[in-house]
């Protein structure tokens, strides 16, 4: 008389302290937007820079990958504002005589202004990242934390099929961008 052994049930996988959770992904993206440093953002959630790049590479074409680009777009936007400010307002240059400040003058970099005027599309990363950053980084982070981690055909909300088409186009562009950064 033989009895069939029941297969052992696998316990539900719990997140380890050293693995990515949705909350860690969200905190990481907020820190990346603020610091523009993958190392600093990963450190803020107790993980490594390499694990962040591996996660991004694994989630190409997902809301997380878009969140990464939107976070970096925030830094590019800050840089663009600083460049525009320097091109328009110049830089104040102090003048000293015998070690004492005697005055200042304003110096303008015409090459910077010419480059910005000739290359407006180069001031930023990706058009879809710009669109999402304009619509709301917080909405994207909320989706990463509690919504689906991939784009679905059922997403007919605000943009429907157009959003899905752009997301898939974006995924193709990201695959070209994401060589080996780890």
Distance CA 78, CA 98 (A): 37
**131 lies in some domain:** yes
**140 lies in some domain:** yes
Distance CA 167, CA 74 (A): 19
Which sign does the torsion angle of CA 74, 76, 82, 85 carry? negative
**135 lies in some domain:** yes
Query: Residue 7 is encoded by which pair of tokens?
Result: 């297969």
Task: Tell whether 129 and 145 lie within a shared domain.
Answer: yes
Distance CA 143, CA 99 (A): 57
**130 lies in some domain:** yes
pTM exceeding 0.75: no
C-beta atoms surrounding 136 within 10 Å: 11
pLDDT tens digits along 36-76 = 899 999 999 999 999 999 999 999 888 898 889 888 887 77
pLDDT tens digits along 120-171 = 666 655 555 555 555 677 777 888 888 877 766 665 444 445 554 555 554 4
- Three-state DSSP class for residue 101: strand
- Three-state DSSP class for residue 3: coil
pLDDT at 42: 96
**136 lies in some domain:** yes
Range of the domain at 135: 125-149
**142 lies in some domain:** yes
**48 lies in some domain:** no
**139 lies in some domain:** yes
Looking at the structure of the chain, the number of domains it has is 2
């Amino acid at each position: 008389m033989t009895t069939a052994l029941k297969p052992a049930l696998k316990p539900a996988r719990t997140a380890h302290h050293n693995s990515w959770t949705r909350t860690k992904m969200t905190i990481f993206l907020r820190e990346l937007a603020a610091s523009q440093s993958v190392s600093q953002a990963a450190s803020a959630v107790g993980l490594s820079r390499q694990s962040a790049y591996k996660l991004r590479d694994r989630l190409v074409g997902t809301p997380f990958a878009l969140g990464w680009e939107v976070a970096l777009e925030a830094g590019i936007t800050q840089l663009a504002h600083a460049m525009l400010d320097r091109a328009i307002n110049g830089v104040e240059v102090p003048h000293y005589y015998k070690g004492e400040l005697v005055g200042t003058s304003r110096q303008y970099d015409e090459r910077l202004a010419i480059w910005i005027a000739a290359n407006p599309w180069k001031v930023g990363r990706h058009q879809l990242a710009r669109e999402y950053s304009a619509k709301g980084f917080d909405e994207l982070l909320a989706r990463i934390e509690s919504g689906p981690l991939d784009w679905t055909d059922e997403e007919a909300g605000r943009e429907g099929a157009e959003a899905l088409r752009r997301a898939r186009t974006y995924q193709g562009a990201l695959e070209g961008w994401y060589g080996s950064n780890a």
